[in-house]
Chains A and B, each alone.
Chain A
Amino acid sequence: MKKFFAMLLTLAMVLSLAACGGGGSQPSGGSSSNGGASGDKVVKIGVFEPATGDSGAGGKQEMLGMQYANKETPTVVIGGETYAVELVYADNASSADKAPTAASQLVSQDVSLVLGTYGSGCAIAGGPVFGEAGLAAIGVTCTNPGVTAGNDYYFRICFLDPFQGTVLANFASEKFSAKKAYLLGELGNDYDQGLLNYFEQAFDGECVKDSFPPNTSDFSTYLNKAVAEGVDVIFCPVSIAYSTQIVKLAASMNLDIPILGSDTLDSNKVLDAAKGSDVQIYVSTFYQEGGAPDFDNGIKAWLNEDSTAMTNNGGNDTIAAVTAMGYDAYYVALEALKAAGSPDKAAVKAALPSLTYTGVSGDIAFDEVGDAIRDTAYIKTADNAAGAWTLETVQTAK
């Protein structure tokens, strides 16, 4: 019996490997709900985003932007023919060891180009897979310089960590005349540590730097340390799961030191955590609600009628900047397809570098490395009475 079971499994493996080898690509991955809605021709856009793992929440919000854009514009005219756009998803689970297989999944499904991902670690791990397949990828909110450096096939539409760190450091000096800052990030997280580093370099004053181990939930010691050190600002560019805890804790401690955060803190979960308290939160981000009223109203209406989308957005209709970025990324992809004149991935790749597009988050153009040429960041502050973001200032790099 046992032996039979063993042989059966072995046989199954051999057979399926052979079958997949012979049969070519099978549509084993996800397919979008409205693929093939109109027209016979379908162009596929890969969505390389985390839906699980520690940046799952952010990845989902980013996908919302793409899904909404896909709903708004489900077709594209390429070279005189109308194609239906199909989004093909692959979950990279926020983990660098799952990213190469997720990326391969997209390559095998013959997508024309790829959008994503939320975090830089997965983009770096998946990038070479795309590069090898000659498939262009547009990073949506991966801000680490390492994503595009040395990879001709990776582009991105967001600003970079050095820029964001500098902007926040300047803001801290200007707004609060801060002389001493407490920097807190997750140990071993390249995003957090990179930003802390750039902040430290740009900040004119003393920095106390701390890192907490992954899966920490007790932040009271860290916040108390900041109080004891007598710092003027706290900078914690951590992922959503940690930032909600830090903000909650700060709220219950009645912390009066302003908290600065990066684009990850721009989430309605953070607003929820801060609601009704006196915590001052300032985040730098890509988009401020109200910047494009049509987009705002449209996506809010969609969120309110689609309950799954609403859940993925964290239960209310506050628009996260990553959603706006996802929305823009989709349209950049459409522009690239139009410019290429064919859904062929090599043509799309060739069309990307010279592309320009004005999206809801601003003008998008790529420099020679493939990074977006951007020099503005929105700094928002949490209005704790209303539970909404308000625009504080628009900061440019100096």
Chain B
Amino acid sequence: MQYAISILLSGVSLGGQYALIAIGYTMVYGILRLINFAHGDVFMVAGLMMVYLTASLPLAASIPLVLVLTVLLGFIIERAAYKPLREAPRMSVMISAIGVSYLLQNLATYITGGLPQMYPEIPGISATVTIAGVPTKWVTIVTPVLVLVLVLALTQLIHHTKVGMAMRAVAKDFETAQLMGIKINAVISVTFVIGSFLAAVGSVLYFTNYQSIVPLSGSLPGLRAFVAAVFGGIGSIPGAVVGAFIIGLSESVIKGSSWSIFSDAFTFALLIIILVVKPTGLFGEKVTDKV
């Protein structure tokens, strides 16, 4: 019983963290039709920045600074690597994304020297709490709540602000939106800013739980989050969140079973099945807030 609860807990917290990354994927895909392969690495870089900033600054200053810097990083990546390719075929943009991901990983290797870095303890959410006899960290409980709050705020933003309206318009039809006088580049930048912000929040939660950061730390959560986004129906924010929780839980359950070596393989098999059977994902095109 305790074991079942522990699996459930770790699944839920994983799901929450994937959700925060998945939203970044799904929003960018909704607008640019681009799988932003570098998103997982932005997440990793956010973690590393935290490690280096806390070495010299107090925690209260480093957390906001990490959020700001990550947002800046996302913005710069979009401007430098994706904007020049706006007219190019989709494949070129995707290759550019792979290139950025390669660059970020190599930079991280260079700076850390390939040594695993220890994420700092964050008072409050790093503390241990016991739920039904299972010891876990506060962050496990904080994560789903925080995800819910952020997603609600995000949907409010998309449905009830001008920027949100512009985003929806761009997602619906790129060219028409442009003709209607929407500043496409500004909207895309906002999308990347939001995505990177959520990735930074996700990285705080994720690395508080799993404290060691290596240059490849972002790639696997990134891929899983992408699978979650596809699973939920790419372009749909509620879809991404639901998909992320399903992926997180099923990953946890499989790891707990005797088939643990196939936990990654299962995630991808699920992806292939979903793509083939229902390419629009769980929430498909019906949910129209495609941002």
Contact = CB atoms under 8 A, between A and B. Distances in A.
A and B touch in the complex (CB under 8 A): yes
Given A217-B212, A220-B10, A224-B256, 5 more contacts: A213-B261, A224-B10, A225-B256, A228-B2, A244-B116
Interface string B214-228: 101101110000000
Interface in B248-281: 251-252, 255-256, 260-261, 263-264
A312 interface: yes
A221 B212 CA distance: 17
Given A54-B214, A249-B210, A213 B263 contact: yes
A187 B211 CA distance: 21
A60 B217 contact: no
B115 interface: yes
Interface in A53-92: 53-54, 56-57, 60
Interface in A191-249: 210-222, 224-225, 227-228, 240-241, 244-245, 248-249
Given A187-B261, A224-B7, A252-B128, A217 B114 contact: no
A218 B113 contact: no
A273 interface: yes
A272 B120 CA distance: 12
| A contact patch SS | helix
Chain A: interface size category:
35 or more
A316 to B, nearest CB: 12
Nearest to B252: A221
B210 A60 contact: no
Contacts, number: 112
A217 B217 contact: yes
B264 A269 contact: no
A227 B3 contact: yes
A54 B116 CA distance: 9
Nearest to B134: A224
Interface in B133-150: 134-137
Contact of B128 (A60, A217, A254): A254
A57 B6 CA distance: 32
A245 B134 CA distance: 19
Closest 6 CB pairs of A and B: A56-B114, A228-B3, A217-B210, A224-B6, A221-B255, A213-B264
B209 interface: yes
Contacts of A224: 3, 6-7, 10, 134, 256
Contacts of B14: 218
Nearest to A227: B3
B44 to A, nearest CB: 11
Contacts of A228: 2-3, 6
